[in-house]
Amino acid sequence: MLLRGSWRRLAQPSAPRPWHRRAGSEAGAAAAPRYEVVVIGGGHAGAEAAAAAARGGARTLLLTHKIGTIGEMSCNPSFGGIGKGHLMREVDALDGLCGRVCDRSGVHYKVLNRCKGPAVWGLRAQIDRGLYKEHMQKEILNTPLLTVHEASVEDLLLTEPEPDRPGKCQVTGVVLGDGSTVHAGSVILTTGTFLRGMILIGLETYPAGRLGDQPAIGLAQTLEKLGFAVGRLKTGTPPRLAKDTIDFSGLQERAADNPPVPFSFLSEAVWIKPEDQLLCYLTRTTLKAQEIICDNLHLNNHVRETTRGPRYCPSLESKVLRFPNREHQVWLEPEGLESNVIYPQGVSMTLPAELQEQVIRSIPGLEKAKILQPGYGVQYDFLDPRQLTASLESRLVQRLFFAGQINGTTGYEEAAAQGVIAGINACLRVRGKPPFIVSRTEGYIGVLIDDLTTLGTSEPYRMFTSRVEFRMSLRPDNADARLTHRGFEEAGCVSQQRYEEAVKMRAALEDGIATLKSLQFSISKWSQLVPEVPISSSRRLPLSAFDVLRYPEANMELLARVVPEPLGKLAQWRQLAERLKIEAAYEWCVENQQQEIEEVRRDEALRLPEDLDYFAIDASLSLEVREKLDSNRPQTIGALSRIPGITPAAIVNLLRFVKTNHQKAENLSSEQCGDRLMCWGPGQS
Amino acid sequence: MVGCTLPPWLLGGQREGFALRVRWEPPWVCGVHMEGSWAGVHVNGVVGYPCTPYGGCGRGAPHPGAPSPCCLPCPRCAQRLCSAAWGDTIFAVSSGHGRCGVAVIRTSGPGSRGALQSLTGRPALPPPRVLALRRIRDPATGEPLDRGLVVWFQGGDGVHQTPPRQRPGSAGPQSFTGEDCAELHVHGGPAVVSGVLRALGALPGLRPAEPGEFTRRAFRRGKLDLTAAEGLGDLIRAETEAQRRQALRQMEGELGRLYQHWSDALTQALAHLEAYIDFSEDDNVEEEVLSQVDATVRALEREIGSHLQDGRRGELLRGGVRAVIAGPPNVGKSSLLNLLCQRPAAIVSPVAGTTRDVVEVALNVGGYPLVLSDTAGLRDATDPVEKEGVSRARDRLQEADLVLAVLDATAVPTEPVGLGAALGSLQPPPTTPCIMVLNKADLLKGKGGSLRAACTQGHPLPPVTLLSCKTGEGLDHLLALLARELARLCGDPLSGSPSLTQSRHSLHLRQCAVALARYGRERRSDLGLAAERLRLARRHLGSITGHVSTEDILDIIFRDFCVGK
């Protein structure tokens, strides 16, 4: 079943207007503390949002149930991957935390897709949960301007909206569990799966977010009353196993990279010695597991229900049902250096606990494995992200931002990416500055947020490289070149040190490319110099060193060996040498994409007014198109053209309406163009 | 033009000792940097274009038909890689369709200047907005195509353009799209038109316009908030739908199935490659997937290559709006055909089911070409020959641009709802425009008045007219209705412009084949780059068969592979 069908608009309150708050909180207002940005929730989105706002110079308050859970990795013990690694590099380019912290807490670093080309390399690492938490908390607690406070949030303080913007009210602060209030210039909600979160194991259900955490009730009700549209999603987590009860002897090993590649542009190397890294192991399910699952479907509420789960992170049950009679991979991943816990990636399930044990023990190597904590399913409401602008501010409530899983995404990296953007924009909003928007043409972050806010989602949204149109240009290696300058100049969220590093790297790259291009020899000379590079002899023109570098067989080391002057010094700087090689290999492709990128940018530069009432406007649009426009509320013509079912005719009609009604100042003489239009008619004879 | 010396930048090359065998031919003229008369130069048999900001390739863009890209350094920029954008120039026939006296072909974009210079073989442009008589040649072969009028419109300072050298006193961009535009008014014969379109398509950086693209560009430049643009949205809609119909018409039967097959195969190959990139490290996406993709791509490349050489492109096309006369048996469909073409082209008899095969007549109504088809009466026939006739009639109905639904005026209900139902029983395609003809008006007695009232009132109905094929009564009204519908259909510059569709298709197919060939080359070294080639190939094929979204690709991935943690 499609979730889109199950969208529901939560009941609107008939009686008191939402910004009429309790008398008590109003009375305490004078003495209430005041922050520029308040972040609710200390997960991956919340931590990044709070840190980004504080880096931007906003006095920021992070509210969390427990400081001890900041930086908690609630699901898999790994960061990064294909597509996700790209996001982490971009978060790092904006001076976000997760990349840096991972460089200090990983136990097994591996670049995936090594042999498939640098545009799709997936930086990934197994992370020590304890270390990650420790380092993340250290970062958060030591960020200047950032205060962390343990409290539950019961409600939002709301007031009349700013008249010149869309929205029915604006948020001015929050009400805490003890009834006290905190005033805020803007508020970021990063509360994950707290909306009607439900845990399922077998036939049992518990209301909760993560196992052991309390769901927030009051806040959920306020959001309901405000009329936010929600949808329901499900996800799951596998049982955790005791390492000392697993027989690894017959299993396939996966070794880590040596040397490990750090996530952060600022890290020279990761903290761990390459040889100290832990191993991962691969095993596979057998048909016995399938048998147990199929025999016990009646005991499995989570699987039987129709709520849309992710197609790409499916439970073992759905894998078995959709692809029967196969072996399914199970990765046994360490949870930390000291930890006795193994995370069996690939077998998330919701069977009753005793049956989970049977399934686990049917897997080779796990015959005697002990389950430390059973797997479980989670179902939760998420807010339709189409209610947000590209800055992640909600259109319904001014100054209220949303980031992370609450917007329908899955994964730490997706959460962190939204967190940084929400943090930056909450800060800019308080300053009255224009929002910081990353375009689809600039980064995976842009694709993520544009997909969410324009198209919404019907399953937990995860990043893939295949979602990205300009994959050849948006690479992990050049995230700093794409975002750090903007982050420094427009968002103010990037430290001076990082900015200088990025400037240095950019200058070195430009110099390096110019040097390589100016170094030209004839083909026969090159063939003598580097016989290992099969230069095609059909060309008659001199070839630059940059042209030679684009051959897969060539690299900077090789070129520096044969032409030490001036290439020797370029090859010495390892990162620079690698990046020059990538730039050379991708040059044609990036240039070819440039034109398309321009096209997209031009469409994105055509902005639609946010307060357009699509049902009332006098333009020739069908009701169906009007409904689509009203629910998606595209902000630009670019976003509009990506909505399925919007015809070129609708785009043109809307453009005409917007142009004539909002830019009357533009004064073109009809003589100029009127006669040209006649060319649409039949030709003269 | 004749007797020019070798361009200095080539002499430079020779001085440095590179063996250049230059065959230089007069008609090539490039844009700004080359104020002489050399634009394209044969270097060892390959056409090269020097760098210009107005459409010269400048960065090794493959010249269609050339064995490999060749790019020569520009004497002014002194480099081969130029920052000027190329390839952002579109062209289309913007006059009416079919055979007409004069066809207007318009280009828009920074390459317009170069295109006009190349086709006219003169470096000097006529003054803006002034018609000039020029000989038009194919720049690749030098072959004369036509003598026609050309107009040059100077665009504004666009994203890609250097500020135009404004003539004193001229204010602002004075062209339809706001960009540099050129118009070629050539003789309207299909051979001339398709020759010019082919020549334009072969210039580096020029491509056929997509539906609505001129309009979109005009909007971007703020040129269209005018009362003159009224109804433009409808026009665009007609444009896209007519194109779809046109595509359908061209792709019916074997050709259509072939294109669709390629499209499916390529989409699947791309999805599998994307799955291999995104999931192979963690999941059960095996290496063998890749060899299947390779095999698919090789097969596609071969098939498309041989198809392109085959020369049967556009065989099904004919100019003119396709109108189909349809209706129940014995209502006078063939009589209507004969009445309209003023000769007994079809056999008429009082016996139901006389017409069995499709009878086609080419007509000219109100200046618009019309291909009128008379079809067998629609009924559940038992006779095998008539059965085939009915099935052909239904096929024709589906491909029609315009339906003339003929009903017996004496046998239809007299209120609009009943009339609508009678029309519905013929099952005309829902989006195709339709004219209802109620024949045998001469046999109406008392019923005439109420039926006439229903005709004029009928809001939910298509245009209706009462007609007597016997007396000719109502023919004027029918012709007026026909002319109105034709005007509406033909206002669309793309409809029925076979050569454009044809050149657009072959251009996209050729580029698709080029991208597939490059996939093979890059496959071993960088899978990301190889995937990019497939994406490009898919986009070109998608321009013919319809675009495929990321979500469609993801659907295939999750359908075919068990991926996930």
Q: How far apart are the two ends of chain B, measured CA to CA in Å? A: 69
Distances in Å between the Cα of B35 and the Cα atoms of A554, B29, B61, B125, B348 are 40, 8, 22, 11, 68
Pairing of strands A400-402, A181-189: parallel
Range of the domain at B24: 1-86
Asked if residue B380 and residue B253 are part of one domain, the reply reads no
Cβ contact, residue pair B281, A538, below 8 Å: no
DSSP secondary structure string for all residues of A299-342 = G-HHHHS-SPPPSSS--HHHHHHHS-SS--EEEEEE--SS--EE
Q: What is the pLDDT of residues B51-85, one digit of tens each?
A: 333 333 333 333 333 322 233 333 333 333 222 33
Average pLDDT over residues B316-326: 66
Instruction: Name the β-bridge partners of A673.
Output: none
For residues B556-565, one letter each, b for 16 or more C-beta atoms within 10 angstroms of the residue's C-beta and e for the rest, the string is bbbeebbbbb
Four-point Cα dihedral A516, A520, A524, A526, nearest 10? -20
Q: Which residue of A has its CA nearest to B526?
A: A117
Average model confidence (pLDDT) for chain B?
69
CATH code, B476: 3.40.50.300
Q: Using CA atoms, how far apart are residues A388 and A407, in angstroms rounded to an integer?
A: 9
3-state SS, residue A127: strand
Cβ pairs bridging A and B (under 8 Å): 227
Q: Give the global pTM.
A: 0.69
Q: Are A388 and A16 in contact (CB under 8 A)?
A: no
Q: Which residue of B has its CA nearest to A662?
A: B225
For residue B162, how far is the Cα from the chain centroid?
Answer: 31
Final residue before a domain boundary, out of B466, B490, B514: B490
Give residue A8's pLDDT: 44
Q: Using CA atoms, how far apart are residues A392 and A146, in angstroms rounded to an integer?
A: 21
Put the strands of the sheet holding B206-208 in their side by side order: B132-137, B144-153, B181-187, B102-108, B89-93, B206-208
Q: Using CA atoms, how far apart are residues A426 and A36, in angstroms rounded to an integer?
A: 9
Average pLDDT over residues A27-56: 88
Identify whether B208 is part of a domain: yes
For residues B249-278, one letter each, b for 16 or more C-beta atoms within 10 angstroms of the residue's C-beta and e for the rest, the string is bbbeeebbeebeebbebbbbbbbbbbbbbb
Cβ contact, residue pair A314, B525, below 8 Å: no
CATH code, B117: 3.30.1360.120
The answer to whether residue A308 scores a pLDDT higher than 70 is no
Identify whether B565 is part of a domain: no
Give residue B255's pLDDT: 64
Asked if residue B537 and residue B458 are part of one domain, the reply reads no
Establish if B59 touches chain A: CB-CB under 8 angstroms. Answer: yes
Give residue A124's pLDDT: 96
Q: Is A544 or B426 the better-scoring residue by pLDDT?
A: A544
Chain A interface disruption, residue of B146, B277, B561, most A CBs within 10 A: B277
CATH code, B267: 1.20.120.430
Asked if residue B363 and residue B426 are part of one domain, the reply reads yes
Final residue before a domain boundary, out of B490, B512, B538: B490
Asked if residue B337 and residue B303 are part of one domain, the reply reads no
Give residue A156's pLDDT: 94
Identify whether B552 is part of a domain: no
Q: What is the pLDDT of residues B477-520, one digit of tens each?
A: 888 888 788 766 654 433 333 444 556 677 788 889 999 999 98
Which residues of chain A does B211 touch, with a Cβ-Cβ cutoff of 8 Å? 648
Asked if residue B255 and residue B121 are part of one domain, the reply reads no
Tokens of A413: 């990296």
The answer to whether residue A454 scores a pLDDT higher than 60 is yes
Q: Using CA atoms, how far apart are residues A500 and A497, in angstroms rounded to an integer?
A: 5
Cβ contact, residue pair A115, B44, below 8 Å: no
Give residue B33's pLDDT: 33
Asked if residue B282 and residue B328 are part of one domain, the reply reads no
Asked if residue B450 and residue B359 are part of one domain, the reply reads yes
Given B59, B101, B564, which is nearest A683 (Cβ)?
Answer: B101
Average pLDDT over residues A615-625: 78
Which residues of chain A does B106 touch, with a Cβ-Cβ cutoff of 8 Å? 679
- Phi and psi dihedrals of B144, rounded to 5? -70, 135
ipTM tops 0.90: no
Average model confidence (pLDDT) for chain A?
85
Tokens of A349: 């399930």
Give residue A498's pLDDT: 96
Give residue B160's pLDDT: 36
Amino acid at A379: Q
Average pLDDT over residues B382-393: 85
Domain count, chain B: 4
Range among A565-574, B157-166, B347-356, B541-550 rated most confident: A565-574
Distances in Å between the Cα of A6 and the Cα atoms of A457, A567, B69 are 12, 61, 54
Range among A516-525, A623-632, B543-552 rated most confident: A516-525
Distances in Å between the Cα of A340 and the Cα atoms of A242, A370, A578, B90 are 6, 11, 38, 65
Give residue A613's pLDDT: 83
C-alpha closest to that of A111 among A81, A142, A79? A81
B118's CB contacts (< 8 A; 6+ apart) are B27, B28, B29, B30, B39, B40, B139, B203
Amino acid at B535: R
Which residues of chain A does B283 touch, with a Cβ-Cβ cutoff of 8 Å? 329
HSE-CB for A344 with a 13 A CA cutoff: 35
Identify whether B248 is part of a domain: yes
Q: Using CA atoms, how far apart are residues A359 and A524, in angstroms rounded to an integer?
A: 65
Task: Kindly report the nearest CA distance between residue A669 and chain B, in angstroms.
Answer: 9
Cβ contact, residue pair B562, A602, below 8 Å: no
Give residue B177's pLDDT: 80
Average pLDDT over residues B27-42: 33
Q: Does an H or E element contain B92, and which?
A: strand B89-93
Give residue A611's pLDDT: 75
Residue in the structure block whose two tokens are 């990279």: A257
Taking residue A73's Cβ as centre, other Cβ atoms within 10 Å add up to: 21
| Segment 447-486 of chain B within 8 Å of chain A by CB | none
Q: What is the pLDDT of residues A327-370, one digit of tens each?
A: 888 999 999 999 999 999 989 898 899 999 999 999 999 999 99
Pairing of strands A122-127, A146-150: unpaired
The answer to whether residue B3 scores a pLDDT higher than 50 is no
Identify whether B555 is part of a domain: no
**pLDDT-derived band at A149, boundaries 50, 70, 90:** very high
Return the percentage of chain A with pLDDT > 70, whole number. Answer: 87
Given A311, A659, A683, which is nearest B188 (Cβ)?
Answer: A683
**pLDDT-derived band at B267, boundaries 50, 70, 90:** very high
Residue in the structure block whose two tokens are 């990019």: B532
A437's CB contacts (< 8 A; 6+ apart) are A390, A391, A446, A449
Return the percentage of chain B with pLDDT > 70, whole number. Answer: 64
Identify whether B242 is part of a domain: yes
DSSP secondary structure string for all residues of A443-511 = -HHHHHHHIIIII--SS-B---GGG-TTTTTS-GGGHHHHHHHHIIIII--S-HHHHHHHHHHHHHHHH
Return the percentage of chain B with pLDDT > 90, whole number. Answer: 9
HSE-CB for B342 with a 13 A CA cutoff: 4
Q: What is the pLDDT of residues A392-448, one digit of tens each?
A: 999 999 999 999 999 999 999 999 999 999 999 999 999 999 999 999 999 999 999
Asked if residue B101 and residue B36 are part of one domain, the reply reads no
Q: What is the DSSP letter of A636?
A: B
Q: Using CA atoms, how far apart are residues A384 and A228, in angstroms rounded to an integer?
A: 8
Given A118, A329, A674, which is nearest B284 (Cβ)?
Answer: A329
Cis amide bond preceding B211, omega within 30: no
Cβ contact, residue pair B94, A679, below 8 Å: yes
**pLDDT-derived band at A669, boundaries 50, 70, 90:** very low
* Exposed/middle/buried for residue B316 (C-beta within 10 Å: 0-12, 13-18, 19+): middle
Q: Are B28 and B41 in contact (CB under 8 A)?
A: yes
User: In the structure, how many helices (H) and strands (E) does chain B have?
Assistant: 15, 16
Tokens of A234: 């499900």
Pairing of strands A240-242, A252-254: unpaired
Give residue B357's pLDDT: 79
Instruction: Name the β-bridge partners of B72.
Output: B50
C-alpha closest to that of A592 among B180, B263, B540, B65? B540
Final residue before a domain boundary, out of B490, B524, B559: B490
**pLDDT-derived band at B99, boundaries 50, 70, 90:** low
Considering Cα of B107, then B112, then B115, then B121, what sign does the dihedral take?
positive
Which residues of chain A does B153 touch, with a Cβ-Cβ cutoff of 8 Å? 676
| Window from A603-612, B9-18, B279-288 with minimum mean pLDDT | B9-18
Give residue A312's pLDDT: 60
Among the residues of B160-221, which ranges form H helices?
Answer: 190-202, 213-220
- Phi and psi dihedrals of A644, rounded to 5? -60, 140
Cβ contact, residue pair A683, B491, below 8 Å: no
Chain B interface disruption, residue of A473, A652, A654, A662, most B CBs within 10 A: A652
Asked if residue B486 and residue B442 are part of one domain, the reply reads yes
User: In the structure, how many helices (H) and strands (E) does chain A have?
Assistant: 23, 24
| Window from B127-131, B292-296, B451-455 with minimum mean pLDDT | B451-455
Greatest pairwise CA separation for chain A in angstroms: 90
Asked if residue B131 and residue B34 are part of one domain, the reply reads no
Identify whether B557 is part of a domain: no
Q: Is A579 or A20 the better-scoring residue by pLDDT?
A: A579
Asked if residue B181 and residue B96 are part of one domain, the reply reads yes
| Window from B193-197, B348-352, B547-551 with minimum mean pLDDT | B547-551
Establish if B211 touches chain A: CB-CB under 8 angstroms. Answer: yes
The answer to whether residue A545 scores a pLDDT higher than 90 is yes
Asked if residue B245 and residue B173 are part of one domain, the reply reads no
Tokens of A146: 């950032």
HSE-CB for B192 with a 13 A CA cutoff: 21
Q: Using CA atoms, how far apart are residues A209 and A218, in angstroms rounded to an integer?
A: 15
Cis amide bond preceding A259, omega within 30: yes
Chain A interface disruption, residue of B129, B237, B526, most A CBs within 10 A: B526
Give residue B284's pLDDT: 67
Chain B interface disruption, residue of A533, A541, A555, most B CBs within 10 A: A541
Identify whether B21 is part of a domain: yes
Range among A8-22, A653-667, B93-107 rated most confident: B93-107
Which residues of chain A does B278 touch, with a Cβ-Cβ cutoff of 8 Å? 82-83, 120, 464-466
Considering Cα of B75, then B78, then B80, then B81, what sign does the dihedral take?
negative
A32's CB contacts (< 8 A; 6+ apart) are A173, A180, A181, A182, A183
Cβ contact, residue pair A471, B278, below 8 Å: no
Tell me the residue ranges of DSSP E strands in A323-438. Answer: 329-334, 341-345, 371-373, 376-383, 397-398, 400-402
Task: Kindly report the nearest CA distance between residue B550 and chain A, in angstroms.
Answer: 6
HSE-CB for B68 with a 13 A CA cutoff: 8
HSE-CB for B533 with a 13 A CA cutoff: 21
Given B60, B525, B562, which is nearest A323 (Cβ)?
Answer: B562
